[in-house]
Chains A and B, each alone.
Chain A
Amino acid sequence: AQSVAQPEDQVNVAEGNPLTVKCTYSVSGNPYLFWYVQYPNRGLQFLLKYITGDNLVKGSYGFEAEFNKSQTSFHLKKPSALVSDSALYFCAVRDYGTDKLIFGTGTRLQVFP
């Protein structure tokens, strides 16, 4: 069965500093990996995905993520954090050949001015 783990409940970072939000996954086949963001009192929005191709994926709002097959990780990164990046971030995985998209427990990112 597929699963995804976000080991950090909260990540705190100063504005202008780089940020990383961690995600590891477990699948039996090839993974389809996603990051979604939930801003306060707003719905969930797509940030980026990895399905195939380059291991470094670029997405919305300057975010990127690196697929690492050997470490089964898909960490979300941004070179310079903004206060407006403060939100709840979800990693998700779908095992190739299945239709279930499973989400992690979420990581709250707090960017301080």
Chain B
Amino acid sequence: NAGVTQTPKFQVLKTGQSMTLQCAQDMNHEYMSWYRQDPGMGLRLIHYSVGAGITDQGEVPNGYNVSRSTTEDFPLRLLSAAPSQTSVYFCATTLRTGSNEKLFFGSGTQLSVL
């Protein structure tokens, strides 16, 4: 079991470039989410999905798009990168069964936008 796999681990972009952060899971969890981590700001929810074909906005969705065509994959797209998007990005899945609820995080993608 690989759990939650994020690629790439590191990325440097120029302002205006686009890219996709990949997230794949093999735990068959319905819930998936993307967070960004910035010093002093904690973890902020970008987008989330409650199942294939369903996505919704989190706290800071502007500048990001997501799609969920399969249960396994939840890519995050930056359409036109800006320096304000320099951050560490975490993908997570949620195990939610009855009273049991727990997030499983990927190892993160460190993104720098110049």
C-alpha spacing A44/B88, complex, angstroms: 12
C-alpha spacing A55/B35, complex, angstroms: 29
Task: Give, as a whole number of angstroms, the nearest-CB distance from B49 to chain A.
Answer: 9
- Residues on B with C-beta less than 8 A from A32 are 101
Binding site secondary structure of chain B = strand
Q: Is the CB of A52 within 8 A of B99?
A: yes
* Interface size classification for chain B: 20 to 34
Q: Is the CB of B42 within 8 A of A101?
A: no
**Chain A positions near chain B (C-beta within 8 angstroms):** 6, 9, 32, 34, 36, 43-46, 49, 51-53, 90, 92, 94, 99-106
Given contacts A44-B43, A94-B101, 11 further A-B contacts (CB under 8 A): A9-B40, A43-B90, A44-B105, A90-B43, A99-B48, A100-B45, A101-B33, A101-B94, A102-B45, A103-B42, A106-B43
**Chain B positions near chain A (C-beta within 8 angstroms):** 31, 33, 35, 40-45, 48, 50, 56, 58-59, 90, 92, 94, 99, 101-108
